[in-house]
């Protein structure tokens, strides 16, 4: 019905519903906090670093620089090889894991630092010990298998994964989840406030009367604070009519409609 969007009115409506927005935001923060602390299983991460260096097979090959470029391309290949069933099935067999190859594949990520020949194998698991075991086994299986697969024997494990004294889970990150919860809660609360404001079809401003009903506003009466005690003023003339001692039940009986007395 309202054709113009008034930013001031919009902000006023939000300010009026500020408690609602704050409550919804806090609710979502609390919810994501509770979920990340109690319901989500902590997940640990272990990583192994592997250095891969292709032996120069052809002495006539071009300069050292080109050689490194070729190695870098190979690093990409190793990335895929590590995550391939050829390696992972062996890891599963060796460690007698219950997971399938694709499950394990999801939990392993291989990355290489830019312009280096170092591969980092990161393994996520619900147990730190298992994560370390899988990371190290993957590295050693890769080291053993790569010889037959690609005729490379210059694979070194730089840093095997170790179990730290006090392992910190990488997932869930409660602070991150709560921040996300706060953002979602704030957006939902704001949306709810706008929705409630749009759905409110009551008269709220003097302009409503003048624009919609086309009548003039004679005046406003602000909300009267509740008067606890009714003080009778001193100059009551008609004292006979005062029914101070008649209890309210009797007044009700008198005023209660008997027939056709309701709307």
Which residues here bind another protein, judged by CB under 8 A?
201-204, 206, 208-209, 212-224, 227, 230-233, 235-238, 241-244, 246, 248, 251-252, 254-263
Nearer to another protein, 1 or 60 (CB): 1
Q: C-beta of 196: minimal distance to another protein in Å?
A: 12
Q: Measured from the CB of residue 192, what is the shortest distance to another protein in angstroms?
A: 18
The CA–CA distances, whole Å, from 247 to 29, 146, 183, 239 equal 53, 100, 57, 17
Q: Cβ–Cβ contacts within 10 Å for residue 83, how many?
A: 19
In the complex with another protein, which residue's Cβ is closer, 55 or 252? Answer: 252
Residue placing its CB nearer to another protein in the complex, 147 or 204: 204
SS3 at position 66: helix
C-alpha distance from residue 228 to each of 167, 216, 225 (Å): 63, 34, 9
Least separation in angstroms between residue 11's CB and another protein is 12
- Between CA 209 and CA 217 the distance in angstroms is 7
Shortest reach from residue 186's CB to another protein, in Å: 24
How far is Cα 18 from Cα 193, in angstroms, rounded to an integer?
Answer: 8
Residue closer to another protein by CB (options 11, 163) is 11
**In 10 A of CB 240, how many CB atoms?**
6
């Amino acid at each position: 019905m309202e054709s113009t969007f008034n930013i001031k009115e919009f902000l006023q409506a939000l300010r009026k519903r500020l408690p609602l927005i704050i409550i919804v935001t806090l609710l979502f923060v609390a919810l994501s906090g509770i979920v990340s602390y109690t319901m989500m299983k902590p997940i640990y991460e272990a990583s192994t670093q592997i250095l891969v260096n292709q032996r120069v097979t052809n002495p006539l090959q071009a300069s050292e620089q080109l050689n490194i470029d070729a190695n870098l391309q190979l690093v990409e290949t190793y990335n895929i090889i590590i995550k391939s069933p050829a390696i992972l099935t062996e890891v599963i067999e060796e460690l007698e894991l219950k997971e399938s190859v694709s499950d394990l594949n999801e939990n392993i990520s291989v990355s290489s630092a830019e312009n280096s020949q170092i591969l980092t194998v990161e393994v996520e698991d619900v147990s730190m010990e298992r994560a370390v075991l899988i990371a190290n086994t993957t590295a050693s299986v890769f080291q053993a298998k790569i010889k037959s697969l690609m005729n490379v024997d210059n694979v070194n494990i730089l840093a095997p994964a170790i179990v730290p004294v006090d392992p910190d889970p990488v997932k869930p990150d409660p602070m991150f989840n709560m921040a996300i919860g706060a953002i979602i809660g704030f957006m939902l609360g704001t949306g709810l406030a706008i929705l409630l404001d749009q759905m409110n079809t009551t008269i709220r401003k003097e302009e409503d009367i003048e624009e919609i009903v086309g009548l003039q506003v004679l005046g406003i009466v602000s909300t009267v604070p509740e008067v606890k005690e009714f003080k009778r003023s001193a100059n009551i003339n008609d004292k006979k009519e005062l029914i101070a001692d008649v209890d309210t039940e009797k007044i009700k009986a008198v005023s209660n409609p008997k027939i056709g007395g309701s709307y």
